Structure 1
Amino acid sequence: MSQTVPTFQEEIEPGRFLTMPEDGSGVVVLDPWLEPFKPALQARSRTKTLNEYFVSIHRRYKRFQSWVAKINESGKGYENFTKGYEYFGFNVQPDNSIIYREWAPNATSASLIGEFNNWQHDAHPMKKDDFGVFHLSLPPTADGKPAIPHNSKVKISMKIPQSNDRIDRLPAWITRVTQDLNVSPIYDAVFWNPPQKYVFKNSRPKKPTGIKVYEAHVGISSQEPRVGTYKEFTSNILPRIAHLGYNTIQLMAVMEHAYYASFGYQVTSYFAPSSRYGTPEDLKELIDTAHGYGITVLLDVVHSHACKNVLDGLNEFDGTDHCYFHEGARGRHELWDSRLFNYGAFEPLRFLMSNLRYWMDVYQFDGFRFDGVTSMLYKHHGLSYGFSGGYHEYFNEGVDDEAVTYLMLANDFLNKQYPDVTTIAEDVSGMPALCRPVREGGIGFDYRLAMAVPDTWIKMLKEQNDDEWEMGNIVYVLTNRRHLEKNIAYAESHDQALVGDKTLAFWLMDKEMYTNMSDLSPLTSIIDRGMSLHKMIRFITHALGGEGYLNFEGNEFGHPEWLDFPRAGNNASFHYARRQWNVVDDKLLRYKYLNEWDRAMQVAESHYHWLSSPQAFVSRKHEGDKLIAFERAGIIFIFNFHATQSFSDYCIGTHNPGEYRVILDSDDKKFLGHGRIQHNTSYFTNPGHYDGCDHHLKVYIPSRTVIALRSKDRLEWTQDDMEVPYQYGSN
């Protein structure tokens, strides 16, 4: 006899509920095209044993449920399983004794060595339990202090059976590592137990509904040619971000990495914040201060792969190549030259999920941007694989089901433990249900990065003249996203600015940025075009491209040139590994106009909430006129990309009748426009079908200009309400 599948009610949009089955196939209700793949999503009605089930290719929700059951049984539930950092590594007890544990199943013996015992291998031997965990308890000293002094160096020394050799490693769960380049390029593990621990003063802000992300890297945030610090970021950069109106910061390269030029994507110590920027307490102060501004902070977390370093990384930790990673070829990413985690093994899973909780609890991060999700989702890592959008690409033997399960577990835990958490996936493949809740059969992320958008803008600027730009293609790229799965759109991130490429501003204005960016010099046609298109590209991406927006630091004011870290190929130069805040702070330079336009976009969104509104209705995309018009959140957005043609009494369709006023105008002189729009003008609608709408209005829309209109009786803010810009800077 067939059984009725239990169901639940899910609110998919405000006020709109759907009934979904509790078998992991709820996403099929949202997307009927997934119906043929329903068996790959749902739980089976007949229970199989865990081992039987894990040889299956599909049934992702059942696999997720099986792992939850295993965590509940063997790991004592999420609450215990995700607190591995309170069990492993160094933990100081209330009486100042120290307990140290390390998982190293291949090692036959182990001892703790360090400055505290003069690196003697036989001074503090460790005991091994039946699960491959070595442990040691150090009583306090005679005067009641911890046996290991704060900030002193330590290592674990192990013997391996293959050769009976001794290997020394940095503890896998170490929370502080430092580097003295005058002595060695290898990192040292440090016992971190400061007498004065940082005390958080501010509570976490609420989860933003219209997320506006400021992507930042502490090290490059100084305008001086050196590595910036956490304290400098707190003092100098946080006020800038708050002034601009961003509600979220995404911090890159925080997890310790040996090679600075890797941009933080070759992690060596997963529980240690990078010491090159300062102390752990400095990072806590940064996050706490951001919370005081009402800004949430996300960690750019790298669980997609690990640095292959042995002496200061996880690779070959216990003498084997498969302690935390898959062994053999499956455990290596050939293009990235790095190691790949074994997501299907108990201890690596505990390590990674505890790592997420550690950053949330100890440092008070508000969520994560998961790096390299496409690489995780597929055994081929997306390399040389052109995703066409066919659903068969997402449900076949090329999918790494163990990694999919890990991401489901991570998101399930995070959302249950932290209701206001935000998770973002860096995925280019378009995996269905990536950004739907786990209980529906989704993978559980809040947002996917719209990675095709910046690539399209760069390609257009590289390969086409303005008159070759296709309005239909721009709209297609900006709106081509899965229904009810949120995207974060961006015109450029750090990827587009890396050496070998250039920032959008530099693509637009190139060498003239060195000579014609002063208000004292004539406004050349190249600078005029570049400034105009920079504002338009960023705004149409912001308003049309997704349910969130992202900017990489410095690009808000048109940062010139490119980004390049010190390395052998550039004689270890820091010239391009910094942000040139001096150009935006100099009131004689034109960068300030782009900075204030960016601020106007963020402030306007905070009043009108288009990012958290349903996707826009595009009423016009006219190739000849180079014009795009759409409505979202009760705002009419009109973009005229034409290089020379301005239009008078241009007819624009709208669903909402009324009297409209300008709220944003890129042609305003405060943004280095030409001042061709009168802001006190009213635009009245008339009945009559036009462009799929029941009403229309007529506007004057100058060339290379965007205007945004809002009904007069619903005005909350206009750009004329902005206070005098620039509370900082030089003359």
Structure 2
Amino acid sequence: MADSRLSDYDVFLFRQGRHYRLYERLGSFPEEDGTCFALWAPNAREVSVLCDSNGWTPGIAPLNLREDGSGIWEGTVSGISIGDLYKYGIKTDSGEWLQKGDPMARRWETPPRSASMVWNVDHEWTDREWMESRGKRLPLDGPWSVYEIHLGSWKRRDGSFLSYREIAPLLADHVVQAGFTAVEFLPVMEHPFYGSWGYQVLGYFAPSGRYGSPEDLMYLVDYLHSRGIAVILDWVPSHFPSDAHGLARFDGTALYEHPDSRRGYHPQWTSCIFDYGRHEVRSFLISSAVFWLDMYHADGLRVDGVASMLYLDYCRERGEWEPNRYGGRENLEAVSFLRELNSEISRSFPDVVTVAEESTDWPRVTGPAHLGGLGFSMKWDMGWMHDTLSYFSRDPIHRPWHHEEITFGLWYAFSERFVLPVSHDEVVYGKRSLLSKMPGDQWRKKANLRLLLALMFVHPGKKLLFMGCEIGQWREWDHEVELDWALLDDPSHRGILRLVSDLNRLYREEEALSRDFDPDGFRWIDCSDRGQSVFAMMRPSGPRPVVGVFNCTPIPRTGYRIGLPSGGRWLELCNTDSNDYGGSGVGNMGGVSADEVACHGMSFSVEMVLPPLGAVILAPETSLSDGRR
């Protein structure tokens, strides 16, 4: 066709499942004499563009079906330009007319309205220096500390959403103050139901209009980059909602979803599951991932629901799922898709990260795809999260009987490249806020929270903390209201934020703490003091080692001896019981001196004070590499 945007090679790649930039070929493209449309709907009998200028009437602005068997409809429609709303009228094989939004639309109406919008994204980026250096700024083995945020409920103005532009300086200031190196946005892709938090996506190539235009989101990313903050976007290839204007039964058939309901319907989320074995669907999804990295300069994608993709029996009882061709429960097509996804991202964007939310023991999630792994950069450590929160929710009197909830995670800590996630899922739906989970009175709850945060930052693994946890939010997360920022009028809550800031600073500055994926980067000093609920660990790599000692009871302990690798002065880098953090001020007067007394298999040791429900983080006053002791 004369007005076609697709070459024969584009069509070939699309049908092979290897066209990774479909957004350059399918969708709507404004031109001088109208707008060019291209849509995949192979089982449609007719396709029309519906808009205001034709009264939303089918048949007035028809598209033409390519004759190459691709199922792509094309055409240029006059009288429709940038900013105009449209849908596709699709006549099914049964003669029914459907009204569908454009799967490739760059912008949609703000829900509950559901039309697509002709748009030509135009933003002049200013982050060239960031983009050229981000691999060096945030290497995979560097200090990734992620602040997870839901845009609609982080901060509001008189109960209304802030726009992407309005939130940019406020968010950047807070993230810099708290010391995080990256933000992770819950899905910003357009979704019809706000209460899904973005996890029921329909606009796989469009940001949510609730917070502004595509250019506004680009401004937010650009601004965060200017402040040295990386941006990770939550991305959802695991399922999509069944709204009538969306992807479900798009041309009257199961086009994007698997035709077998045992594989194409998600019973837990009442949504549709993509057909990962269909080549065109793979092109669609991988193009979506590439789109956000390419057009929006995202520095990483957190892939939601990976476990639900990997297993055919996920959330299904016996008889509700069909085994694969080998008789197993693995979704072979989804495994292949994830490998292809990560391989393409690694090839085209070698300095970005992909992070899997994967809650099982699937092997080698972060192993190279070409060597049989899934190819992710990192994986959420859901086991660490579950065990650690379980331990800290217990009254200290019961903790000696659950000592292994802290120690067990180190048995597998280096089997993958892990992120330690305290995410949105842990502070909602009756699970209570992180602070409210802690046992005891208000003082003990805050002390326990400070202790947990310190343990998280000394433990191997990248860090992720959901918004509100850093200020000691009492109320569990509610997406309908902003965080309780007034808590920062209370010195004890300001102290929690100050502790997070100091822990993030140590994580950035002490090289030993960010060597999270190196088995030689961790050593237990003592993990056996069950009776006193004390843990002592060391991060030995780097210019100087860092030691963390954690007293998980409200009993102060004096004269507590731990082994150390060297003598001399050891500085108290952090004490979570400091008055500055809202604690009681029990500590070691800024440091301790190690003597040549063997303990815990080391030649030196020190007697120290352990504050109640407190952590003490130590490092030698001088680098061990300079020869001084």
The question of a shared fold, defined as TM-score above 0.5 by the shorter chain, is answered with yes
Whether 1:580 aligns to 2:518 is no
Whether 1:631 aligns to 2:538 is yes
Match of 1:705 in 2: 614
Within 5 Å, give how 1:691-730 maps onto structure 2: 691-714=600-623
Q: SS in structure 1 opposite 2:622?
A: helix
Match of 1:156 in 2: 88
Query: Alpha carbons of 1:396 and 1:685: their partners in 2 closer, same or farther (altered >3 Å)?
Result: farther
Match of 1:115 in 2: 52
Q: Which runs of 5+ in 1 are unaligned?
A: 1-70, 140-146, 386-392, 510-524, 566-573, 717-731
Match of 2:74 in 1: 135
Amino acid at match of 1:626: S
Amino acid at match of 1:149: S
Distance in 1, Cα, partners of 2:327 & 2:463: 32
Whether 1:531 aligns to 2:457 is no
Whether 1:265 aligns to 2:204 is no
Residues 220 and 228 in structure 1, CA contact (< 8 A), matched pair in contact too: no
Q: SS in structure 1 opposite 2:514?
A: coil
Distance in 2, Cα, partners of 1:705 & 1:221: 29
Q: SS in structure 2 opposite 1:676?
A: coil
Match of 1:595 in 2: 497
Amino acid at match of 2:76: S
The alpha carbon displacement at 1:683 in A equals 1.8
Amino acid at match of 2:501: R
The alpha carbon displacement at 1:105 in A equals 0.8
The alpha carbon displacement at 1:480 in A equals 4.1
Match of 1:177 in 2: 108
The alpha carbon displacement at 1:657 in A equals 4.4
Aligned counterpart for 1:564 among listed residues 473, 478, 482: 478
User: What whole-Å deviation, never above 9, does each CA across 1:230-279 have from its counterpart, x for those lacking one?
Assistant: 12321212210111111111110311111111111111221111111111
Whether 1:508 aligns to 2:438 is yes
Query: Alpha carbons of 1:230 and 1:623: their partners in 2 closer, same or farther (altered >3 Å)?
Result: same
The alpha carbon displacement at 1:434 in A equals 0.5
Q: SS in structure 1 opposite 2:403?
A: helix
Within 5 Å, give how 1:613-652 maps onto structure 2: 613=516, 614=518, 615-621=521-527, 622-632=529-539, 633=541, 634-644=545-555, 646-652=556-562
Distance in 2, Cα, partners of 1:166 & 1:384: 37
Distance in 2, Cα, partners of 1:396 & 1:659: 62
Match of 1:346 in 2: 279
Match of 1:90 in 2: 28
Distance in 2, Cα, partners of 1:693 & 1:150: 71
Distance in 2, Cα, partners of 1:271 & 1:501: 33
Distance in 2, Cα, partners of 1:252 & 1:345: 27
Residues 661 and 679 in structure 1, CA contact (< 8 A), matched pair in contact too: no
Q: SS in structure 2 opposite 1:693?
A: coil
Query: Alpha carbons of 1:383 and 1:535: their partners in 2 closer, same or farther (altered >3 Å)?
Result: farther
Whether 1:409 aligns to 2:343 is no
Aligned counterpart for 1:103 among listed residues 40, 49, 55: 40
Query: Alpha carbons of 1:78 and 1:344: their partners in 2 closer, same or farther (altered >3 Å)?
Result: closer
Residues 428 and 452 in structure 1, CA contact (< 8 A), matched pair in contact too: yes
Query: Alpha carbons of 1:603 and 1:498: their partners in 2 closer, same or farther (altered >3 Å)?
Result: same
Aligned counterpart for 2:468 among listed residues 546, 551, 554: 554
Q: SS in structure 2 opposite 1:353?
A: helix
Query: Alpha carbons of 1:326 and 1:250: their partners in 2 closer, same or farther (altered >3 Å)?
Result: farther
Q: SS in structure 1 opposite 2:412?
A: coil
The alpha carbon displacement at 1:410 in A equals 0.7
Amino acid at match of 1:529: R
The alpha carbon displacement at 1:647 in A equals 2.4
Query: Alpha carbons of 1:287 and 1:135: their partners in 2 closer, same or farther (altered >3 Å)?
Result: same
Match of 1:332 in 2: 265
Distance in 2, Cα, partners of 1:483 & 1:178: 46
Amino acid at match of 1:280: P
Amino acid at match of 2:116: A
Amino acid at match of 2:548: F
Aligned counterpart for 1:449 among listed residues 365, 372, 380: 380
Residues 433 and 474 in structure 2, CA contact (< 8 A), matched pair in contact too: yes
User: What whole-Å deviation, never above 9, does each CA across 1:155-174 have from its counterpart, x for those lacking one?
Assistant: 1112111x212111111111
Residues 666 and 673 in structure 1, CA contact (< 8 A), matched pair in contact too: yes
Within 5 Å, give how 1:683-698 maps onto structure 2: 683-688=593-598, 690-698=599-607
Distance in 2, Cα, partners of 1:77 & 1:675: 67
User: What whole-Å deviation, never above 9, does each CA across 1:544-590 have from its counterpart, x for those lacking one?
Assistant: 1x32000001111111111234xxxxxxxx3xx32112222x2x442
Residues 374 and 382 in structure 1, CA contact (< 8 A), matched pair in contact too: no
Within 5 Å, give how 1:67-78 maps onto structure 2: 74-75=12-13
User: What whole-Å deviation, never above 9, does each CA across 1:26-53 have from its counterpart, x for those lacking one?
Assistant: xxxxxxxxxxxxxxxxxxxxxxxxxxxx
Distance in 2, Cα, partners of 1:76 & 1:160: 23
Amino acid at match of 2:423: S
Residues 269 and 314 in structure 1, CA contact (< 8 A), matched pair in contact too: no
Residues 307 and 359 in structure 2, CA contact (< 8 A), matched pair in contact too: yes
Residues 104 and 323 in structure 1, CA contact (< 8 A), matched pair in contact too: no
Q: SS in structure 1 opposite 2:147?
A: strand
Q: SS in structure 1 opposite 2:532?
A: coil
Whether 1:430 aligns to 2:346 is no
The alpha carbon displacement at 1:649 in A equals 2.5
TM-score by length of 2: 0.88
Match of 1:720 in 2: none
Distance in 1, Cα, partners of 2:371 & 2:10: 21
Residues 659 and 685 in structure 1, CA contact (< 8 A), matched pair in contact too: no
Whether 1:250 aligns to 2:177 is no
User: Aligned-residue CA RMSD in angstroms?
Assistant: 2.6
Distance in 2, Cα, partners of 1:398 & 1:680: 56
Match of 1:420 in 2: 351
Residues 17 and 282 in structure 2, CA contact (< 8 A), matched pair in contact too: no
Residues 575 and 616 in structure 2, CA contact (< 8 A), matched pair in contact too: yes
Query: Alpha carbons of 1:323 and 1:440: their partners in 2 closer, same or farther (altered >3 Å)?
Result: closer
Match of 1:193 in 2: 120
User: What whole-Å deviation, never above 9, does each CA across 1:287-315 have from its counterpart, x for those lacking one?
Assistant: 0111111111011000000111122x110
The alpha carbon displacement at 1:494 in A equals 0.6
Q: Which runs of 5+ in 2 are unaligned?
A: 1-8, 319-323
Match of 1:219 in 2: 152
Query: Alpha carbons of 1:73 and 1:135: their partners in 2 closer, same or farther (altered >3 Å)?
Result: closer
The alpha carbon displacement at 1:97 in A equals 5.3
Residues 391 and 405 in structure 2, CA contact (< 8 A), matched pair in contact too: no
Amino acid at match of 1:432: P
The alpha carbon displacement at 1:460 in A equals 3.7
Q: SS in structure 2 opposite 1:320?
A: coil
The alpha carbon displacement at 1:281 in A equals 1.0
The alpha carbon displacement at 1:321 in A equals 2.4
Query: Alpha carbons of 1:446 and 1:459: their partners in 2 closer, same or farther (altered >3 Å)?
Result: same
Which shows bigger deviation, 169-178 or 119-128?
119-128
Amino acid at match of 2:536: A
Percent identity between matched residues is 24
Distance in 1, Cα, partners of 2:10 & 2:331: 23
Distance in 2, Cα, partners of 1:179 & 1:212: 32
Match of 1:495 in 2: 425
Distance in 2, Cα, partners of 1:399 & 1:266: 24
Amino acid at match of 2:184: Q
Match of 1:373 in 2: 306
Distance in 2, Cα, partners of 1:247 & 1:155: 41
Residues 552 and 612 in structure 2, CA contact (< 8 A), matched pair in contact too: yes
Amino acid at match of 1:555: C
User: What whole-Å deviation, never above 9, does each CA across 1:177-214 have from its counterpart, x for those lacking one?
Assistant: 1136xxxx3412111236xx221111333334221111
Whether 1:669 aligns to 2:547 is no
Match of 2:399 in 1: 469
Query: Alpha carbons of 1:239 and 1:102: their partners in 2 closer, same or farther (altered >3 Å)?
Result: same
Amino acid at match of 2:502: A
Match of 2:293 in 1: 360
